[in-house]
Each structure stands twice: as C-alpha cells, then as structure tokens.
Chains A and B, each alone.
Chain A
C-alpha cells in the first residue's frame, strides 16, 4: 500500500524493496535484475519481466569476502552480500552490459553461486558509427534469442509499449530535476535521492503515479535554495543519502549531479527513430557519457554546457572506493576545473556510507574554502 506523501512512499519502497518485490514475485510476476542503466530494460519489460536494478545500499559486508577480494567497490560487495542473504531470491536472472571489470567479474561469481538464475552478458559498442549501430541492434536481438523471445510483430508492439512507458518514467525524473533546479519544487537532496532510487525498484506504472504527484506538489518553502555554496556532485553509485544531507546542512546547494544513480541514467528519455528496436538503440547510443564507457573529454563537454548555464562554485566527487573508471578520470577533471577556477574535492566511500568525522571535516573545510573564495 502506498503512503499519501510521495516522498515517504519512495523511501519506504526503496528501503523495503526486497519484501515488496518478493510479494510481486509471489503473485506470479517474473523479475530480472540489472546492475547499471546500460542494460536495455525495455527489452526485459517487453518480454514480460519486471526489470529491477540491483542495489548495494549501505550495510555490512561479511559473507561476500568468501567470494570476492577486499579491493572491489562497495556496490558490488554489498549487492553480492544481499544476494547471499537471500534478498534477491526472486530474480529469474540478471543481464549485465559490461559496465566495468568489477560488474563483469561479479556477474561470473553470481553465475557460479546462484545456479538457478539465468545470467546474460551483452557487449555494447564503444563507438557510434553506423557499424556500431548495426552491432548494437544485433546484440539486442541476440539477448532476445537468449531469453527465448522471437522478434515478431507481436513482440514489437510490446516493445513499443515498454519504450513508451520507460520514456514517461525518464521524462518524469527529468521533470523532477528541472522543477527542483528552478525552485518550483522544494525538495531536499535526500528526498530527491529516494525519489529517484525508488524508480529502479518499483513497477513503472506505480512509480509514474507517485512521481507525477510529487512534481505537482506545491512549493511551500525554499529552505534548500537559500544555501550559499552551489556545488556539483559527481561519481559512481551513491549508496545512501546521508552524505548529501550533510552537504546541504553545511551550506552546500547541489545544482547538478553526474552520478550512476543520478540524472545520467535518464538522459535522453527516448530515441528518435520510428522502428522500435532502432529507437531503443538510438536512445542507448545517445546516453549521457559515463566514466566506464567514455573518455573524460567526452564527459567534460557535457560538464562545460552545465557550467556555462549555472553558477557552480565547487565540485564534490563522491566515489565508491576502488572505482577504477571514476578514479581514472579524476585527474583530468580536477585539472579542467582548476583552469576554470572551480575548487573540487574527492571523497571515497566504503560500504557503511557513514559520514565519518574525517569526511565531515573535509566537507566543512571545502565548503568554507569555496565560500571564502567566492566572497
């Protein structure tokens, strides 16, 4: 049952997603998991599965060390830990799209330890030329074949419907970002985080209803907008919103994010071709660049556009410890930001997502410094 306040519903959905999804599974709905948003969830939905994003979240890591080394990101450690605790028993399988070496290797570990699940990998091209586009289509069709789904007119119609539904979901999240940015919607970073994360784990029709209700919520006060220091946050998955709350409490105003669990997953909302498969590929090929699959320069082009149109004063990189793709891009980004006179700081988080004394001190010092610099 949904709670009348959309934010409370999002938080409850996110925090109790295992139980909710388990119930959905018991009602006969099949579910398929995915680690990152390069997995074409529309294909899974059109095949009759409910796509569910596997989340790490915050918590202990104990059992996973029987299978993983210590030097892998908290996200992968936590998600395996949760699986070993039975929190993903309802999944029929997982599709991974070579998000990074850690995801690829962990998928293999899941395969060996959860033999009842079907685990599929898809290989997505790194280029965007016509051959890459053709390959993309072939790879998506190959996934359908593995799922035992013929690409017939009946399926194509279902795919059209799935694309439309997830377009609406993505557009709604983008609208949420716009409303929050423009001040039309008064929402804290923590609330926004729950609002976005819930969309990864609850059925899209329910989510759409809730998020549209949230966007229409009238502005009551503008507490968050008054914060003096405007910052971008960037990095990999954010497993818990406490760190965002702390940034806001100490005077930070998050004006944009470039995170794996943030806006990057939603842009663009759709592709622009008529044929459903080509439309799907068009959307995935035009996705906002991420550190795993792109050059830092390509990511920076997008940053420049944002920096041109906003008053960003500082950047807080919030990384999962041991995240190779993002750690590799940091020196380039810091250099570019320095050239623009924008200060930045790198915070590496472990699986507890605890905002420790050291992290608090660093955030305090950073925001003071940014504020001092900008008068």
Chain B
C-alpha cells in the first residue's frame, strides 16, 4: 500500500464531479477579470447562499486544501508554513493554506489554476480554532481585503435557544450590510429566497442519495465522497441541484439492477472523521476483502432543512447547526447519529480515523466506540492518521490493523450466517 493513492470510482456522476470542480475553480479564477468581488469564507454556514444571491464569488480556502492534497501540492505548502514557524502539530488545513498563500498562490501549476486574491474575508468567530486562526493569518496576508468579523454561538443542537437564533440572525443581517457596503451590490431578497430554496432542495436530495446507501448491495461507497464538493461550494445554486438529481437517478437505476460496488458485498463499514484526502484509495482497500464503506460522519453535515419563506432565519439555523452536527460541540447528537446510521445502514464494523489534524471530531471517539460495542455489539477499529499530512499516516500499521479487523468481521459473519 502506498502513502498516497486515488480511489476507484464507479458512479458515472464521478466524471461530472470532475467537470464541476474544474468549472468552479475556473469561475473563481475568472471572477476578478469579470469584476465580480471575491470573498474567502469558511464552509458549512449560511454565508454561501448570501454570496451567490448577491452575485459574489465565494472561495473556500479550507476546501482548497484537499485539492492540494489530491494533486500532491500539500508538501511544499507545509514546508513554507513550517519554515514560517507554524508547528507540525497544527492542523494540516492550517499549515497547507498558510503555506499556499505565502508561496505558490500566484505561481502554482495546478490544473485547477490558483485561488484569486480576496476582495473581502469572512473571518469566523466560532467553529474550530484552526479555521479561526487560518482567517486571522489571511487577514495579515491580504491587508487590502475588507474583513467581516463574524460571530456565531457554539452550542449543542439540543441546547439551541431563541437568543442563540436571534444572535445568529443579527449576524446574518450584519453580514448583508457589510457586503452591500463593501461591494456596492444590493441584496435582492427574491434571489436570496431562491438560493435558500435551492439549498434546501440540495439538502433533501443529499439525504435521499445517502438513504440509497442502505440498500444491500450498496450502490456507492465512500470512495465517491467527492460528490460532496457541490454541497461545500455550490449550495444555493442550480448546479448543485441538477447534479444531485442526476446522481439520484443513477443510484435508483443501480439499486433496481442490484448493482453494488463490488461483486460480493460481505461486510458493511462506517467511517468516522474526515477521509485521508491524499489517499482516498484507502476506501477501496477494504473492497479487496469484500468490505464496503457505506456511510460516514462527514456527510451528515448537510442533513438539515432550510425554510425559504424565512431565508435569514433559515441561514442562521444552518450556520448554527452544520458544524455541531459533525463535531464535539454536539457530542450527544454525534453519538446518536452514528448509532442510528449503524442500524439503518446495517453496519458490521466501524472505522474510527483518529485524526491528528482534527481534534473536534476525534475527541469522543472512544466513548462512541464503547457505546457501539455495548449497545449494538458492533466492533470497531482505530486508524491513526491525518486528513492532510501524509507524514502522519503509516501504511504498514494501517494494513496490520485493517487486515486483522476485516478477518475478524468476516469470521464473525461466517459464524452468524
């Protein structure tokens, strides 16, 4: 097994993802020359719909990091940031993007081009600390960019109270005023309603798509996780909805034909935490032993609904919920959703990625592991790695653990059947 490998994709839609990724980054590159203001922002909040509704170009530096990992550009970015004094113990997203903006942002030969220099930054207060610190560093790197100091309550889903929603609503309104003032463009509230409705539609489709993975054999695996790109970068647009409808049609067809990922699906697996962006081929590794990763934590971040009739509140709620859905902010919810998924997706075993680059998702894994064993008698395995930095992934160690785990699951299956 190599440190880096690409996943084998089976969906026809995978080809469309490549096109959508390419077009998105081309759009980012061309925005400047077309006079479209460019804003850099963190993902998983309600600002994306606002930017699209106002005809502004959203750019997600956090999302650029997986691109760098996939194209083998991360190591040079790490070198730059680490030479600046950023510790190797910091999140890989942080080290990658800081290295990128201080290095090859205008010279890199990436086939997707480069990120355009921001006109404004939506700098978050809330979310995880590394993302907050990324934006503080970006503020320093791009002193000419206007900065919106965003704020968001960090609260577990079950604890959300009216004052949290009210504050999040005020922040959305403040953001709109900031964008109007900074870019000179007025918010068109009909367009905002439309963007929120499209975003909601994408979330509905997303849940539908995920639910098709409950079929045995599953029509697609975590190796196709790239389809999530539209949820990160294209929410609030027709592009996401059209693409997801196409994915859904393909899945319906595959399920009708009982076409699985591998010829003989024996073991169904759940993946917790962010994948190894430089080694999505890891998902295929389990397939050699008739195992398929049929569900994962990360995809639940989009399992929300947005009421287009009250778009500001809908975006406030989306902002409040998205990050806690997958992180330790809402641990009870995270635990319950994994238990629920294990039941609904007929999971035989769970892979916990103990991710050196993401403490908020890693913390609590041992408790979830224990509960899975006690409540559902589902065994699990810990994989020590890093979603960005391949130096923290050891293939031999992975193989040893994964092989033993799969053998155990197969033996268990043999006994029960």
Contacts and interface: CB of A to CB of B under 8 A. Distances in A.
Interface of A: 66-69, 71-72, 98, 100-102, 104-106, 108-109, 111-113, 121, 123, 125-127, 131-132, 134-135, 138-139, 142, 292-293, 295-297, 321-322, 324-325, 327-332, 334
What 3 A-B pairs are tightest by C-beta distance, nearest first?
A126-B125, A105-B363, A108-B331
B366 A127 contact: no
A101 B86 contact: no
A109 B363 CA distance: 8
Given A109-B363, A121-B156, A135-B167, 20 more contacts: A101-B128, A104-B360, A105-B362, A108-B363, A108-B364, A111-B331, A125-B167, A126-B126, A127-B149, A131-B171, A131-B174, A132-B151, A134-B167, A138-B161, A142-B161, A297-B136, A297-B140, A324-B129, A325-B133, A328-B136
Interface stretch (B61-69, B89-97, B190-198, B211-219): B89-97
A101 B359 contact: yes
Given A68-B366, A71-B356, A108-B328, A138 B154 contact: no
B159 interface: yes
Contacts of B154: 98, 104, 121, 123
Interface in B42-74: none
Nearest to B365: A69
Interface size band for B: 35 or more
User: Which of A68, A325, A327 neighbours the largest number of chain B CB atoms within 10 Å of its CB?
Assistant: A327
A139 B86 contact: no
17 contacts: A102-B363, A104-B360, A105-B360, A105-B364, A108-B328, A111-B331, A112-B364, A121-B156, A125-B125, A131-B167, A139-B153, A297-B136, A324-B133, A327-B89, A327-B90, A331-B86, A334-B85
Contacts of A104: 154, 328-329, 360, 363
Contact of B367 (A67, A102, A296): A67
A123 B362 CA distance: 21
Contacts of A106: 363
A113 B362 CA distance: 16
Contacts of A113: 367
B329 to A, nearest CB: 6
B346 interface: no
Interface of B: 84-87, 89-91, 94, 125-126, 128-130, 133, 136-137, 139-140, 149, 151, 153-156, 159, 161, 163-164, 166-167, 170-171, 174, 328-329, 331, 354, 356, 359-360, 362-367
B155 A121 contact: yes
A64 to B, nearest CB: 10
Given A67-B367, A132-B151, A330 B85 contact: yes
A322 B329 contact: no
A247 to B, nearest CB: 22
B140 A328 contact: no
B360 to A, nearest CB: 5
A71 B89 CA distance: 8
Contacts of B159: 121
A330 B87 contact: yes
Given A112-B331, A131-B170, A324 B91 contact: yes
B87 A327 contact: yes
Nearest to B384: A69
Contacts of B163: 135, 138-139, 142
A139 B159 CA distance: 11
Given A127-B149, A330-B87, A112 B367 contact: yes
- Main secondary structure, interface of B, reads helix
Nearest to A127: B151
User: Which of A100, A134, A324 neighbours the largest number of chain B CB atoms within 10 Å of its CB?
Assistant: A324
Contact of A125 (B140, B151, B174, B331): B151
B142 to A, nearest CB: 14
A123 B164 contact: yes
Nearest to B133: A328
Given A71-B359, A111-B331, A325-B133, A331 B84 contact: yes
A69 B384 CA distance: 10
B362 A69 contact: yes
B359 A324 contact: yes
B155 A123 contact: yes
A329 B98 CA distance: 13
B364 A109 contact: yes
A131 B125 CA distance: 14
A127 B175 CA distance: 13
B12 to A, nearest CB: 39
Contacts of B366: 66-68, 109
B129 A328 contact: yes
A324 B363 contact: no
Contacts of B151: 125-127, 132
Nearest to B132: A126
Contacts of A296: 136
A328 B86 contact: yes
Contact of B360 (A101, A112, A126): A101
User: Which of A101, A297, A334 neighbours the largest number of chain B CB atoms within 10 Å of its CB?
Assistant: A101
Contacts of B171: 131
A164 B89 CA distance: 42
A341 B341 CA distance: 57
Contacts of A297: 136, 140
A331 B360 CA distance: 23
A66 B90 CA distance: 23
Given A126-B126, A328-B133, A322 B89 contact: yes
Nearest to B362: A69
B259 to A, nearest CB: 39
B139 A295 contact: yes
Contacts of A322: 89
Nearest to B126: A126
B415 to A, nearest CB: 28
A168 to B, nearest CB: 31
B51 to A, nearest CB: 21
A132 to B, nearest CB: 6
Contacts of B90: 324, 327-328
A66 to B, nearest CB: 6
B78 to A, nearest CB: 14
Nearest to A132: B151
A45 to B, nearest CB: 23
A127 B129 contact: no
A7 B8 CA distance: 66
Contacts of A101: 128-130, 328, 359-360, 363
Contacts of B137: 328, 332
B165 to A, nearest CB: 11
A328 B89 CA distance: 10
